[in-house]
Amino acid sequence: MCKCNKGVILNISSIVIFVDIYHKVSRYNIRMCVSSFPSFSRFPKGKTHLVVIDPGVGTSRRRIAIKGKPYLYVGPDNGLLPSAAKAERIEKIVEISNYRFIITSTSTIFEGRKIFAFVEANFLKGLPIEDLCPEIHVLVEPLLIEPEVNGDRIIGFVVHNDWFGNLITNLSKGLLDKLRIIECVLFDVNLGGVLKMIRFCRAYGEVPDNYPIVIIGSSGFLEVSINPGSI
């Protein structure tokens, strides 16, 4: 979270602990942010997550808040929040339209500070989600691309490459365990139109330096990597 957003929150609720989950998202890359969402589940119940990647700021896209079990989410309606709350039971979704919770400004940008941080701060002070205004039921579709399962085969896609140079896919460990695909020794990986068979490993040290591997990363998704290096 940027410093000015933290300043807005501290002006309203001074007893707060900030935890920045992810700052390595490339500009406007909503899908890249999705791979950090498993980290949310490690937080205590009842915490609030401010999730803002917002290339549509200032347009007609809605501002929303989601009450899930066990977290609250605040951010734009661009597919990001439903992806974040996907594993939870969503209890209520509202559009942020009550002007009591919108800091007025001549600028139509930077709603992370003017709106989302302000709403988050009021949540910390006990604001009921209903006070933000109307409940809604239809959102922009989540942006997480689902793997294609066809019989005994599964096709995944690269979502983004992280700052270590690893290719992060949309194949979760949970899905691979369920389909028993994680027991495979080799994976077919299409790199730039070239199909390669790459070995699945449980640790980078299982292969010599400069060898490609397929491994479950810390986010819980399958990654294509080189030990040690960049794809």
Q: With beta carbons less than 8 A apart as the criterion, state whether 215 and 200 touch.
A: yes
Q: How far apart are CA 40 and CA 48, in angstroms?
A: 10
Higher-scoring residue by pLDDT: 106, 30: 30
Express each pLDDT in 125-174 by its tens digit. 899 999 999 999 888 887 667 888 887 778 888 888 887 888 989 888 88
Q: Which of 132, 161, 178 lies at the terminal end of a domain, its last residue?
A: 132
What residue numbers bound the domain in which 83 lies? 3-132
Q: Considering the entire predicted model, what is its pTM?
A: 0.75
Do 88 and 167 sit in the same domain of this protein?
Answer: no
pLDDT at 55 over 70: yes
pLDDT tier for residue 184 given thresholds of 50, 70 and 90: low
| β-pair partners for 74 | 50, 65
CATH number of the domain bearing residue 107: 3.40.50.10790
Counts of helices then strands in the chain (DSSP H, E) = 6, 12
User: Is residue 184 domain-resident?
Assistant: yes
Q: Which two tokens stand for residue 106?
A: 């001549």
Q: With beta carbons less than 8 A apart as the criterion, state whether 65 and 129 touch.
A: yes
Q: How far apart are CA 193 and CA 217, in angstroms?
A: 24
Do 80 and 170 sit in the same domain of this protein?
Answer: no
Do 204 and 122 sit in the same domain of this protein?
Answer: no
User: Is residue 185 domain-resident?
Assistant: yes
Q: Which two tokens stand for residue 218?
A: 């810390």
Mean pLDDT across the stretch 186-212? 86
Domain count along the chain:
2
Neighbours of 158 (CB within 10 A): 18
Q: Which two tokens stand for residue 130?
A: 């209903």
User: Is residue 177 domain-resident?
Assistant: yes
User: Is residue 9 domain-resident?
Assistant: yes
User: Is residue 98 domain-resident?
Assistant: yes
Do 36 and 99 sit in the same domain of this protein?
Answer: yes
User: Is residue 140 domain-resident?
Assistant: no
Q: How far apart are CA 169 and CA 164, in angstroms?
A: 14
Q: With beta carbons less than 8 A apart as the criterion, state whether 159 and 170 touch.
A: yes
pLDDT at 175 over 90: no
Do 124 and 182 sit in the same domain of this protein?
Answer: no
Do 22 and 125 sit in the same domain of this protein?
Answer: yes
Does the CA dihedral 30-157-49-60 come out positive or negative? positive
Express each pLDDT in 64-95 by its tens digit. 999 988 889 999 998 888 777 776 788 999 99
Do 125 and 188 sit in the same domain of this protein?
Answer: no
Express each pLDDT in 98-111 by its tens digit. 988 777 765 667 78
